[in-house]
């Protein structure tokens, strides 16, 4: 239908407080005003007015929700008193330790720090020389006590100094000397705490090996062949197999035994490992040594001259006291007893001077006589068995 026949809808006054006039676009072109949304009249077919299905008070309406209350700002948590106390206690403890550490450093300014001990001996609080004296006074006797050893059931002894074994007091104290900045040691020294230092036990491996080799020959049941010099003759003595010290394995056992003896002060017999050993001197070597040296040596007198003086050595008395033979690398070599030479010479060559390799003159010694004897013992005639020592050092 046309606009002039349209059904007119009544208008209601705006609610209190609402806008007083028409808003732009409130009327259609036909001039019929438009009711603003949300304001319906009773009987409105859209049901949005009061009492309508969707309006206020209608069956589908819900009670208006109150606005959510604003939450109050959270209050700052109170400081934990227990934690503050712990922090203060920690700071106090650190300060106390710092003071104690400083006091320890101030009081402990000696060469060897206080409380330093070696094998239970207190060597601290003084100079290095004081420390050496204290250590020697307490342990020197232990360190020099011969070791008790057992070889194949036979007991024997070994002197530490001959075996290259020792307690080095000076090296031990040097290792203990100097400032110790370890807080535990520094603070501990204020309360009598100990600082333990290991002793130094140097070992001369070569000397120990030689000592055990000698011990093997003296205490083992294995025997090398040799030649004995008896009045008027040389006698060949064949070797025999038997038990002998295992030198390589025994070196470790002896080192450990010595250390234990010094540490405890108790000398306990140590069983050394042994092996079955065959003689190193064969019958052929024994025959050679007899023919080339022993028999010629004992065939008659020899005479040694020097500085207008001379002395004879004979096979009946003198030579058996001087001569012997020793096994070295499977060979028998001649050995001369220098003490016996000095005793038998009885001062004959006193005042006789000889020029040595250093260009200086020295008193003629048993070494010089033994060297001259080597050539004379192999001579066949009286002239060949007489040796004159060259005092000018020319040979």
Say which residue, 174 or 11, is predicted with more confidence: 174
Average pLDDT over residues 96-114: 55
The pLDDT of residue 114: 84
Average pLDDT over residues 123-142: 92
The pLDDT of residue 67: 52
List pLDDT tens digits, range 205-262. Answer: 999 999 998 887 677 777 889 999 999 999 999 998 888 889 999 999 999 999 999 9
Q: Spell out the residues 6+ positions from residue 338 whose beta carbon is closer than 8 angstroms to its own.
A: 366, 367, 370
Query: Can you read off the two tokens belonging to residue 205?
Result: 């491996």
Residue 173 in 3-state DSSP? helix
Average pLDDT over residues 162-185: 80
Q: Quick one: which H or E segment has residue 202?
A: none
Average pLDDT over residues 355-365: 94
List pLDDT tens digits, range 194-207. Answer: 788 999 999 999 99
Q: What domains are defined for the chain?
A: 93-145+168-203 (no CATH), 280-395 (3.10.20)
In DSSP terms, 154 is beta-bridged to: 151
Q: How far, CA to CA in Å, does 10 sit from each of 34, 43, 62?
A: 10, 12, 28
- Split at pLDDT 50, 70, 90, the class of 15 is low
Read off φ and ψ for residue 149, nearest 5 degrees. -125, 150
CA angle 120, 126, 129 (to 5 degrees): 90
- Split at pLDDT 50, 70, 90, the class of 368 is very high
High-pLDDT (> 70) share of the chain, %: 67
Across the chain, mean pLDDT equals 79
- Split at pLDDT 50, 70, 90, the class of 6 is very low
The pLDDT of residue 96: 55
């Amino acid at each position: 239908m046309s606009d002039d026949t349209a059904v007119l809808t009544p208008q209601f006054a705006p609610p209190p407080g609402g806008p007083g006039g028409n808003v732009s676009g409130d009327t259609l072109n036909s001039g019929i005003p438009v009711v603003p949304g949300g304001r319906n009249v009773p009987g409105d077919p859209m049901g949005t007015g009061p009492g309508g299905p969707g309006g206020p008070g209608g069956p589908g309406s819900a009670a208006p929700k109150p606005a959510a209350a604003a939450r109050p700002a959270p209050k700052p948590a109170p400081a934990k008193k227990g934690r503050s106390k712990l922090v203060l206690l920690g700071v106090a403890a650190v300060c106390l330790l710092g003071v104690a550490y400083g006091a320890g450093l101030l009081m402990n300014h000696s060469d060897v720090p206080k409380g330093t001990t070696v094998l239970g001996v207190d060597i601290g609080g003084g100079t290095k020389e004081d420390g050496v004296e204290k250590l020697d006074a307490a342990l020197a006797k232990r360190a020099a006590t011969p070791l008790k050893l057992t070889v194949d059931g036979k007991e024997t002894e070994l002197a530490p100094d001959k075996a290259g074994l020792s307690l080095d007091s000076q090296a031990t104290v040097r290792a203990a000397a100097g400032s110790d900045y370890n807080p535990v040691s520094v603070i501990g020294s204020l309360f009598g705490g100990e600082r333990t230092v290991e002793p130094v036990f140097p070992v001369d491996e070569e000397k120990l090996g030689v000592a055990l080799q000698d011990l093997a020959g003296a205490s083992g049941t294995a025997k090398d062949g040799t030649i004995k010099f008896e009045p008027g003759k040389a006698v060949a003595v064949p070797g025999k197999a038997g038990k002998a010290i295992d030198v390589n394995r025994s070196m470790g056992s002896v080192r450990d035994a010595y250390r234990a003896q010094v540490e405890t002060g108790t000398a306990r017999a140590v069983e050394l490992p042994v092996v079955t050993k065959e003689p190193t001197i064969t019958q052929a070597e024994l025959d050679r040594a007899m023919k080339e040296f022993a028999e010629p040596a004992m065939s008659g007198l020899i005479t040694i001259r020097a500085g207008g003086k001379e002395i004879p050595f004979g096979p009946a008395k003198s030579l058996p006291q001087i001569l012997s033979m020793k096994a070295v690398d499977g060979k028998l070599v001649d050995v001369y007893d220098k003490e016996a030479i000095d005793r038998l010479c009885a001062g004959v060559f006193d005042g006789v001077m000889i020029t040595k390799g250093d260009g200086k003159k020295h008193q003629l010694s048993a070494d010089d006589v033994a060297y001259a004897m080597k050539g004379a013992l192999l001579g066949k005639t009286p002239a060949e068995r007489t040796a004159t020592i060259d005092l000018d050092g020319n040979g």
